[in-house]
């Protein structure tokens, strides 16, 4: 639902569904991994994690095997799209408002300022005019257009990865 997420992860006889209200959500991470037996692809495991502002985490995991994989993959895609539409877009907007208020934002180890991006592990600073983004299956990459070896991966499934990527993409468009 647009105002809350409800998930059946309890004994329904004694307790109702777990419900997380939209305004209580701090972040959402999700990922899909292949299930391989020996050398053969046999299915996928999907993970969706919702972190609340009081640091609780609701973990959803489901797995598909063999012929059920396509239906489960479609369900996962639908869920992820709804998570974006109902919740993540608002989290991105909220974090962008924080950035606009202070002209600085720290997220997933990165520091964003009005001048550019500081990449955490390599202690690099990339000015907005040189910031480039690339999407891969398991991660996004932030790199310096002038020196592509100056880069940092943003691993999908980690806290802040989707929000960070979206914010950098929006801020990069503003400065182009």
Instruction: List, for residues 24-66, the tens digit of each pLDDT value.
Output: 999 999 998 888 888 888 888 999 999 999 999 999 898 888 8
Question: What pLDDT digit, counting tens, does each position of 132-148 carry?
Answer: 999 988 889 999 999 98
Q: Is 112:103 a contact under the CB 8 Å cutoff?
A: no
Question: What pLDDT digit, counting tens, does each position of 84-119 carry?
Answer: 999 999 999 999 999 999 999 999 889 999 999 998
Average pLDDT of the chain?
89
Say what the pLDDT of residue 65 is. Answer: 84
Measured distance CA(127)–CA(15) in Å, rounded: 52
User: In 10 A of CB 161, how many CB atoms?
Assistant: 21
DSSP state of 3: T
DSSP code string of 35-98: EEETTEEEEEEEEEEEEETTS-EEEEEEEEEGGGHHHHHHHHHHHHHHHIIIIIHHHHHHHHHH
3-state secondary structure of 159: coil
Measured distance CA(109)–CA(170) in Å, rounded: 18
Q: Which of 12-16, 26-30, 162-166 has the lowest mean pLDDT?
A: 12-16
Q: H-helix or E-strand containing 174? A: helix 161-175
Is 82 a residue whose pLDDT tops 80?
yes
Say what the pLDDT of residue 176 is. Answer: 66
Say what the pLDDT of residue 121 is. Answer: 75
**Residues listed for the chain:** 176
Mean per-residue pLDDT, 14-33: 87
Say what the pLDDT of residue 57 is. Answer: 93
Q: Which pair of structure tokens corresponds to residue 94?
A: 């909220």
Say what the pLDDT of residue 14 is. Answer: 64
Q: What is the pTM of this model?
A: 0.84
């Amino acid at each position: 639902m647009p105002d809350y997420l409800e998930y059946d992860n309890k004994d329904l006889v004694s307790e109702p569904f777990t419900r997380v209200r939209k305004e209580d959500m701090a972040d959402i991470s999700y990922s899909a991994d292949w299930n391989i037996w020996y050398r053969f692809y046999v299915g996928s495991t999907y993970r969706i994690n919702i972190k609340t502002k009081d640091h609780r985490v609701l973990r959803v995991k489901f797995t598909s095997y063999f012929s059920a994989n396509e239906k489960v993959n479609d369900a996962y895609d639908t869920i992820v799209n709804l998570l974006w539409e109902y919740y993540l877009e608002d989290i991105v907007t909220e974090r962008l408002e924080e950035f606009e208020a202070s002209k600085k934002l720290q997220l997933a180890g990165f520091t964003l300022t009005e001048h550019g991006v500081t990449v955490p592990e390599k202690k690099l600073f990339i000015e907005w005019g040189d910031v480039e983004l690339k999407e891969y299956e398991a991660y996004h990459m932030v790199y310096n257009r002038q020196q592509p070896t100056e880069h940092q991966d943003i691993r999908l499934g980690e806290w802040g990865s989707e929000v960070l990527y979206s914010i950098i993409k929006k801020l990069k468009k503003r400065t182009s």
